[in-house]
Amino acid sequence: MELLRLLENSLVLFGIASGLLGLLVGSFLNVVIYRLPIMINRAWSLECRELLGNPDAGSSGQSTYNLVVPASSCPHCQRPIRAAENIPLLSYLMLRGRCAGCGTAISRRYPAIELVTALLSMVVATHYGFGIEALAALAFTWALIPLFMIDFDHQILPDSITLPLLWIGLLLSLFGVFVDSTTSIIGAAAGYLSLWSIYHLFKLVTGKEGMGYGDFKLLGAIGAWVGWQLLPVVILFSSVVGAFIGIGLILLKGRDHNQPMPFGPFLAVAGWLTLLWGQDIISLYLR
């Protein structure tokens, strides 16, 4: 209780504590980003085998695989990662970015995600201050990070993240944490149906699929958190962010402009910005 009172009375301390917690959460999100697509592929494979009437085919040698089992290990030498080597950010610096067993370089993505999660957590904490809004916004932030990375890598937005995000947003509206229930429900429906309509119109005109159903669900979830009034801000932000990143990839890395680009990462960035500063942006525009 004394610690909670201290965090409530000191915004700086609350921000630092949230940043440290963000480092720990970021370490777990690295596991989610790496393992969840594999878990989804395994589930899809099993469903296909069951539909074909041979659920045991191709399953030999497949052991339990989830976010907890098996324990983390080096993907190259299979050496188990010890607890002392799994301290967020610090272990990467102490190991100088290399596996302690085989010396293979560790991807810079892992400490980057931990650091980004910590920084965003600090921003959320200092923006809202100690309270339910900060706790909810932290959960929102931590959900968007793996959605961003998984969609960027694999062009999928897992229902196991987007659907709980949607329901949590709707439940929070019962208590008016960010928006009221009516605004949240209309926001969820409008978010989903807006992209759903664009998808079918684009397919009717071009015969191609311009986006995936995961994008509909993600915008619906964001709409449940920010309300229908801020959906235009989300779409505007996502379009601007997407344009900048797309042009940057084409100019700096020579990416083929015909190569499909996931929309989920841009929605995630736009949703986060809108939750924190959407109302301020609208007020500034109206003035």
Q: Measured between alpha carbons, how far is 239 from 246 in angstroms, rounded to an integer? A: 10
Domain range summary for the chain, segments of one domain joined by +? 1-127, 131-287
pLDDT at residue 155, as a whole number: 92
How many C-beta atoms lie closer than 10 Å to residue 267's C-beta?
30
Q: From CA 104, how far away is CA 69, in angstroms rounded?
A: 23
The pLDDT value given to residue 256: 64
Contact criterion met (CB below 8 Å) for 169 and 188: yes
Residues of the chain with pLDDT under 70: 55-62, 253-259
Q: What is the pLDDT of residue 3?
A: 78
The predicted model scores a pTM of 0.91
Query: Is-contact 177 133, C-beta < 8 A?
Result: yes
Quote the pLDDT of residue 179: 96
pLDDT at position 134: 96
At 219 the pLDDT is: 96
Residues 6+ apart with CB under 8 A from 17: 7, 125
One DSSP character per residue, 173-188 reads HTTTSSS-HHHHHHHH
Q: What is the pLDDT of residue 70?
A: 84
Tokens encoding 252: 């700096």
What pLDDT is recorded for position 96? 80
Q: How many CA atoms lie within 13 A of 279 on its CB side?
A: 7
Question: Measuring CA to CA, which residue among 282, 287, 276 is closest to residue 134?
Answer: 276
Residue 132's pLDDT is what? 95
Contact residues for 106 (Cβ-Cβ < 8 A; gap 6+) = 92, 95, 97, 98, 99
